[in-house]
Structure 1
Amino acid sequence: MPEGHTLHRIARDLDAAFAGQAVRVSSPQGRFADGAALLDGGVLEEARAYGKHLFVEIGERILHVHLGLIGTFTIDEVAYTGERPVIGRVRCRIESEAHVADLRGPMRCEVITPEDETATVAKLGPDPLRDVSGDVAWTRISRSKKSVAALLMDQSVLAGVGNVYRCEVLFRAGIDPMTPGQRLGREQWEQVWADLRRLLPLGIATSRIVTLPEQVEEVEATLAKGDEVHLTERASFVYKRTGEPCLVCGNPVQASDVAGRTLYWCPVCQRA
């Protein structure tokens, strides 16, 4: 499932391509034809993300998108000069004279009001890409008997974090993922929050989840110089490395189902 950095990157790219322009909105697949008709011809004012939710303000209405497990929203990086073919089952297409954005396979694609957007966001926990403080999340975590691994996947506790970031930040902090929220130390939580605040922007910049120290430092140094980042491979401490040796201690990485997704962790580096 696309994690929060992906939605923030899509919002950024939609703004770059369409903000301030009247756009054509259609549904080549046909499943969003009525909604597209409500948005067609409006000016795209702004695209914004909160957690895994995307809100695209067009005219006086808002396109609300949740990509779910398989959804994609692709925006052409270069201007079109000729025919604009429809490839695959495009639920919603946004286009101007120069650019085309195609939404495929979302879990949610609907037209809502500003009041609906406010209500949706109110149900979410803090988003590390938007909120400076994680105090609201800490309050909810510290009162819960659920494991911290389950709580990090609960969007009402913390918005935008998915399975990859969950596994990787818990490893980076040396936290046993089965620790009940109410037994997690405040300093441990502050370490997790700060790490998410550091790593998620790198995901926007690279379109990858970057967690290994050498890659994190490389990306940060490249961005500081204003250069374009090029990463050739995706690497992780524990994610999808079941049975492989831990990169730190050498013991086998373990896996189990927590909150409906496969959790990966090192039982030595993340000892209770």
Structure 2
Amino acid sequence: MRAHRFFSIVMLIALAAISSIGMRAQQSFSEHNSAMASLQPAFITPLVAPDPRLVQYDRFSASHEYTAAGTETVNYGNGKGGGIIAGKHFELDFIPPPYVQHNSSADDGFGDTSALVKYRIASGNAEHGNFAVAAILGHCFATGSHKNGATTDSYSPALTAGYAFRRRFDVISSLGGTLPTSKINSQGRSIAWNALAQAHATPHIWFELENNSTFYFAGSHDGKIQNFVTPAAFYVVRQKGWKPTHPFFIVDTGMQIATSGFHTYNHNLITEVRVLF
């Protein structure tokens, strides 16, 4: 109960920050996003790992993977959703339940619903250090149908940071965990570590290489490690007369390739469309 109260307090603080936006000189979402972007590096949000910047976006993602048993599974939503920037330090995200298609005897259905709060600890643009550091607290609500979600709710705290070398290359890393609220012995806990590098090849094209590691404790995967190498590419679509207050689109794709002996899935092809506003 204490954890639920803590999360509620954090959400109330973030909502209060949102209300403060509406009281500020009728500043539009795009103008506010542009102002906040000027305080941080010009990264691109990673395909899998969390972003240390504050970003205002809508994101549709779909994944196409093969389980360890060779079953083809398609996930429409893939744990992505939308986010808004609140004040100078907060981002609030809502992730609607994905739809999971198993292509097997397992029942298809909707997965879990999630929400998170991101707090910008510190950041600087290209003239002020070119870095970003943020703390994240997520909450997963066990709303999945037909065993397409978790058994219970869980919390996902994380710390993420990134540094850009001028405007052509950057590195990002994050460390976090998944903490179920109950039934620990059956579900277990996990720690996730992500490390990646991005290259800004042209004004419209970015390339990325991620390493995604998960360490399991208790549960059926106790003591096991799952690791993926994830190459990805991004194409930024902007109008010719684009300005920082204008929305823009990103089309991206990548694949998680298992490099560990233990893995619950492999060759996970991810495709996305993003709108930043």
Q: TM-score range by the shorter chain?
A: under 0.3
**Larger Rg, first or second structure (1 or 2):** 1
Higher helix share: 1
TM-score, structure 1 as length reference: 0.26
